[in-house]
Amino acid sequence: MRSRSVLPFFGTVLLLAGSLLLTASPASAAGGRYVALGDSYSSGEGTGDYIGSAGSCDRSNHAYPALWAAAHAPSSFAFVACSGATTTDVINNQLSALNSSTTLVSISVGGNDAGFAGAMQTCVLSGTDACLAAVSNAKSFANSKLPGLLDQVYAGIRNRAPSARVVVLDYPHLYKIGGSCSFGISDTSRSAINGAADTIDSVIAGRAAAAGFSFGDVRQNFTNHEICSADWWLNSTRIPVHESYHPNSAGHTNGYLPVFAARA
């Protein structure tokens, strides 16, 4: 009688074990060999503490890729995201970090192609009318040119890392409209800048889906943590200037990292 009860018991254990393996979290299943690609929003520019060997790429151990790698200890971690990177830079200088054994990739890119940094400079220095014109140009580029550029990057990732899980992240709204700031640019300009982020993010989401990649939208996490909110996770204009309008350490820890970790 005991042998009859033991067999079903072990059968149940095996079924449960199989179920646990099948439902393992994406992070544990896909994080063996991780490569972090992209621009300053992935490198960690804005956190104020950079890895010396990264030079002008401004990579930081406070950036979401490094935070995820520290928490999950992948068997290898290639951190090649670089401040100022465009889609062309990713193709020419970063995709070589990928290979057929890569299991996980993260990337944010597209904002520099659309001239978002230049638009921000115009908005800060040249008034509302010039800001609206610069933002309009950025949105026009995002709608007309950016899709094809992203397709090239995403195809390159898939060609070099055919089995990898790829997580594409976007950009947050920079400003809390009607927030606590009584200085700086107008709310009209702030709204336009947020609208440009929405346009770029929409293009990124569409092309990521077309490539079969996972898309992570960080805007909700940053809600009520924008510039002019009560708790900023983004830098406003600051010294050094290159850190302006980028997530700070809290933005990476609380904004980007949870979105990436849920999809990794």
242 a catalytic residue: no
Among the listed residues 62, 173, 225, 246, the single catalytic one is 246
Query: Buried (b) or exposed (e) across 141-176, using 16+ Cβ within 10 A?
Result: bbeeebeebbeebbebbbebbeebbbbbbbbbbbbb
d(CA 103, CA 76): 10
Catalytic residue among 40, 43, 106, 214: 40
CA gap 73, 70 in Å, rounded: 6
Query: What is d(CA 194, CA 174) in angstroms, rounded to the nearest whole number?
Result: 6
Query: Which helix or strand (DSSP H or E) is residue 104 part of?
Result: strand 104-107
173 among known catalytic residues = no
Peptide bond just before 240 cis, omega within 30 deg: yes
Residue type, 128: T
Query: From residue 83, how far is each of 8, 181, 243, 263 by CA, in Å?
Result: 58, 27, 10, 23
CA angle 112, 189, 251 (to 5 degrees): 55
Only one residue has tokens 């990713």, namely: 90
Enzyme catalytic residues: 40, 246
